[in-house]
Structure 1
Amino acid sequence: MSSPYASESLLQFNTFYNVVNGKLTESSSGQTYHNTNPSTLQANPEVPLSAQEDVDAAVNAAQVAAGHWAETPWAERKKKLQDFATALESQTENFSKMLVKENGKPLFWARIEVQSCIKWVREICELSLPDNIIEDTEQRRVVERYTPLGVAVGIVPWNFPLMLSFFKIPAALLTGNVFILKPSPFTPYCCLKVAELGLRFFPPGVLQAISGDDRLGPWVTEHPGVDKVAFTGSVATGKKILQTCSASMKRVTLEMGGNDPAIICADVDIAAIVPKVAMISFVNSGQLCMAVKRLYVHESIYDAFLAAMVEFVEGSFKVGDGFAENSFIGPITHRAQFDRVTELLDHIKESEFKIATKDSVDTSQQGFFISPMILDNPPDDSRPVVDEPFGPILPLLKWSEQSDVIQRANDTEYGLGASVWSKDMAQANQIASKLKAGSVWINTHGELEPHVAFGCHKSSGFGVECGVEGLKAYCNIQSVYSRPS
């Protein structure tokens, strides 16, 4: 009889369980919960509402597995990850459809997210952390080497639940750590299935996942058996996690959002760059940490650029159900975020800021739909400029002096990303060199690669994911001094 975890068999996406110690488990309390499809408001399936006992069981299993997995040769860990990526690839469509149902994003964007996860595993597996020989003489040999931390926990948000899980999983497992995935309560489904798929490739306790409500995060971050927490989410929650982890000296990686500026210089080809800027501003309904959230346009082209942006966005970006043909922008992912965005929309209207686009809230559809809003030169100290809307709201602002726009672009607690757009590469590089952000792009925005470090400045984060530096974030460095006897 073939194994129930044969790599060619498809996962079932109508039942969902925690994955603990190599088994599919229900919550120890027997309780469940569900989220709703943000397009239709129909209920998605039930998932476990985990209790403290479930956290204890997962951590205990992880601690048992950690020693064996750390001793597994790098090449063997790599091969298991590569096989895992191939199995995920074979189930792209099922994962993509579930992602639409729980997150709301259009199906073609969901497919891109799943494909990006596969790419991340494969390319992270091409990285290595060889021993660094500092000295090798007859008298002494000195070597720096990297050893796994042990039990790592990944806490991921609801906007890109799969992609942000795979910023963490391959780096942790490749370097010899075991991993517990804690998804957002708003989007638990695909994350649970990722760990279920992992049962086919990894020993019990190596890759686990548990779902739950807002109590679950503190239970895992405070747990004495956890050695590392990798978090993506809000600044407020990230600061709490850092404070909690400091008590037990847990290692921490935090990526906590942004308010990315894009500076448009006077010499750009407006028709050529407007579609690119608009896409990265409104993708995923603006629910992207590194979306363009403040657009500074040189005053000499401001009116023409604004008109082109409005025309393109209103003519090209269809808002609708993720399964509807030609939908580009789906709904806001859940009710709480929808309420936050609509409250900001009300504030914008009450403040009488100039709105260049049509009315944003779509009352003709049942779900949490908001059409893109472009603001015409609101004040620099206004909420839509200062705050991270995390919705489809984009302020355009005028600038004239280079030193002034650099100061304005940097005038934020965030430091995730920033971009400069210009035909003059000398000018673009000069501006880019003064921007305080972990990633800076020239004539593009939001590009990331698995082999390139992704870090943050200021309140946007702490530590690094991706690239060799991302591997090191899951390791202790150990210096070994040897002398002949």
Structure 2
Amino acid sequence: MSDYGMIINGQKVYSDNTFSVINPANEEVLADCPIASKAHLDQAVEAAAKAYESWSRVSDEERAGVCGKISSAIASHSEELAKLLTQEQGKPLEGAGSRFELGGAAGWAGYTSTLKLPEKVIVDDENAKIVQTRKPIGVVGSILPWNWPLMIAVWHVVPAIRAGNTVVMKPSPYTPLSSLRLAEIISAVLPPGVLNCVAGEDELGQWMTEHENIQKIIFTGSIPTGKKVMSSSSATLKRLTLELGGNDAGIVLDDVDPDVAAAEIVQGAFLNNGQTCAALKRLYVHESVHDELCEKLAEAASGIPMGDGLDENNLQGPIQNKMQYDKVVDLFEDAKKQGGKVLCGGEIPDEPGYFMPYTLVADVKDGMRIVDEEQFGPLLPIIKYSELEDAIKSANSLETGLGGSVWSSDLERAAEVASRLECGTAWVNGHGGIAPNVPFGGVKCSGIGVEFAEEGLHEYTNIQIVNVAKA
């Protein structure tokens, strides 16, 4: 029996069936994870539905206080969770790694505790008083990814319960252990059934999206899977928040200072080993600064200490899983065959683990797989352009629309170009920066709805109008 249990109605629940979780740094089995049956899911949903009856009536102030307790609980267990996260996800403890993620998770939970859901008086005269209120939706199903599993769990769960909903959470089968432990820690400060966590493989996600007693699904993951979530949720007309893939473009203008921009571009591209939905994944560089910037980028991206993330000297870990590793390597090899010039990286270590150093490839163009497909790894294509209009057209040419960026010494000019990008967030002289008080979401096929801030909290509510006739 696995040492890791699911959380149903505040209790640890095991399963006769398990699967192995692999440490991507050494390709060894880390531990076994329970596999939920349909009966387990039904029990979790039933517990959430029962808890909703009372949790939805808890005062706004009390729910806010509980979210503050969640933040404190995460912070007090952060080192334990960080080490477990490094072992199953691969990211290093140091840098923008596991400790960074746990700090973000605690901080986001704390900020969410400060958000309000005030009533809005629309009319108040001698004839009527009309008030807009926001009510919780019901049972929320949270389907998590493997790239930032604990931070995104907090993004899903804490605003949901803050708004008065209850939750059934499903971690990625690649990174379930830290999520199960996080759910155990969070549920300890909640009434039984408010947060439930069931683990399994892809079929569990489909059962959740089809379940008649789950009223909303929030999903973070790929566009193809997001489309499946939307389709299977349609029979019950579930409310949806979808944060899907991005193939974010950055446009470097002709007046950029390569010495200033290079390090920031590398950070925006390779945060979390490039395994971030809103990472910089296509870089369009004006021909006048192309060669100098490529030189500076290669310098900034080279020599990053890479290895097992438990070694605190390492700042880059492995790609998280074999399937993603194979895809990234395949895109790299395809680019080389088509004439791509490797500026740095690309050497695959002959040792266990899914390692690939930060890799930059120039002399590529639209239509090549390395440009058109989201790499989701430590691989960045660099495309030379001569006309700005062509670069903007290229940036907007794909189905994705999560983020984008413009790099320039002229902030006013850069902001004007940024406003023309078809994406949810357009950054200037940075890429990927997010904050709990700033709404975040995608356009086109990169998602539906937003997360963070009051706008994100509203995603977990229905509007109710109370119309009182006075005469």
TM-score range with shorter-chain normalisation? Answer: over 0.9
Q: 2:222 aligns with which of 218, 229, 234?
A: 234
| Cα deviation 1:113-164 (Å, max 9, x = unaligned) | 0000011111111111111110101210111110000000110110110111
Q: Secondary structure at the match of 2:383?
A: strand
Q: State the Cα RMSD in Å.
A: 1.2
| Counterpart in the other structure of 1:362 | 349
Compared with structure 1, are the counterparts of its residues 359 and 452 closer, same or farther at alpha carbon in structure 2 (3 Å cutoff)? Answer: closer
Q: 1:351 aligns with which of 303, 319, 338?
A: 338
Once residues 43 and 202 of structure 2 are traced to their aligned partners in structure 1, the CA distance between those partners, rounded to angstroms, is 19
1:325 aligns with 2:325: no
Once residues 417 and 85 of structure 1 are traced to their aligned partners in structure 2, the CA distance between those partners, rounded to angstroms, is 28
Q: Secondary structure at the match of 1:237?
A: helix
| Counterpart in the other structure of 2:279 | 291
| Contact 2:332/2:370, CA 8 A, preserved across alignment | no
Q: 2:426 aligns with which of 440, 455, 476?
A: 440
| Counterpart in the other structure of 1:475 | 461
| Counterpart in the other structure of 1:40 | 26
Once residues 208 and 339 of structure 1 are traced to their aligned partners in structure 2, the CA distance between those partners, rounded to angstroms, is 34
Compared with structure 1, are the counterparts of its residues 348 and 398 closer, same or farther at alpha carbon in structure 2 (3 Å cutoff)? Answer: closer
Once residues 277 and 37 of structure 1 are traced to their aligned partners in structure 2, the CA distance between those partners, rounded to angstroms, is 29
1:387 aligns with 2:379: no
| Contact 1:172/1:178, CA 8 A, preserved across alignment | yes
Shift of 1:358: 4.0
| Cα deviation 1:169-197 (Å, max 9, x = unaligned) | 11100000001110000000111111111
Q: Secondary structure at the match of 1:81?
A: helix
Q: Secondary structure at the match of 2:91?
A: coil
| Counterpart in the other structure of 1:340 | 327
How many corresponding residue pairs? 468
1:138 aligns with 2:138: no
1:372 aligns with 2:358: yes
| Contact 2:10/2:191, CA 8 A, preserved across alignment | yes
User: Identity across aligned pairs (percent)?
Assistant: 38
| Contact 2:10/2:188, CA 8 A, preserved across alignment | no
Q: Which amino acid aligns with 1:298?
A: H
Once residues 195 and 57 of structure 1 are traced to their aligned partners in structure 2, the CA distance between those partners, rounded to angstroms, is 16
Once residues 284 and 362 of structure 1 are traced to their aligned partners in structure 2, the CA distance between those partners, rounded to angstroms, is 19
Q: Which amino acid aligns with 1:311?
A: E
Q: Which amino acid aligns with 1:443?
A: N
| Counterpart in the other structure of 1:101 | 87
Shift of 1:248: 0.6
Once residues 305 and 298 of structure 2 are traced to their aligned partners in structure 1, the CA distance between those partners, rounded to angstroms, is 13
Q: Which amino acid aligns with 1:456?
A: G
Once residues 412 and 329 of structure 1 are traced to their aligned partners in structure 2, the CA distance between those partners, rounded to angstroms, is 29
| 1:301-312 alignment, distance < 5 Å | 301-312=289-300
Shift of 1:400: 2.3
- Which shifted more, 62-71 or 192-201? 192-201
| 1:4-403 alignment, distance < 5 Å | 15-27=3-15, 30-108=16-94, 109-315=97-303, 317-363=304-350, 365-403=351-389
Compared with structure 1, are the counterparts of its residues 147 and 264 closer, same or farther at alpha carbon in structure 2 (3 Å cutoff)? Answer: same
Q: Secondary structure at the match of 2:21?
A: coil
Shift of 1:350: 2.6
| Contact 1:360/1:372, CA 8 A, preserved across alignment | no
| Contact 1:282/1:329, CA 8 A, preserved across alignment | no
- Which shifted more, 263-272 or 92-101? 263-272
Q: Secondary structure at the match of 1:380?
A: coil
| Counterpart in the other structure of 1:10 | none
Shift of 1:268: 2.0
| Contact 1:283/1:329, CA 8 A, preserved across alignment | no
Once residues 345 and 446 of structure 1 are traced to their aligned partners in structure 2, the CA distance between those partners, rounded to angstroms, is 23
Once residues 398 and 343 of structure 1 are traced to their aligned partners in structure 2, the CA distance between those partners, rounded to angstroms, is 22
Q: Which amino acid aligns with 1:362?
A: P
Compared with structure 1, are the counterparts of its residues 261 and 392 closer, same or farther at alpha carbon in structure 2 (3 Å cutoff)? Answer: same
Q: Secondary structure at the match of 2:147?
A: coil
TM-score normalised per structure 1:
0.94
| Cα deviation 1:6-59 (Å, max 9, x = unaligned) | xxxxxxxx92100001100012xx111221110012211222111111000000
Q: Which amino acid aligns with 1:310?
A: A
- Which shifted more, 399-408 or 30-39? 399-408
Once residues 359 and 133 of structure 1 are traced to their aligned partners in structure 2, the CA distance between those partners, rounded to angstroms, is 60
| Contact 2:133/2:465, CA 8 A, preserved across alignment | yes
Q: Which amino acid aligns with 1:372?
A: Y
Q: Secondary structure at the match of 1:307?
A: helix
| Contact 2:93/2:312, CA 8 A, preserved across alignment | no
| Cα deviation 1:337-362 (Å, max 9, x = unaligned) | 11222222232233232222243312
Structure 1: any 5+ residue segments left out of the alignment? 1-13
Structure 2: any 5+ residue segments left out of the alignment? none
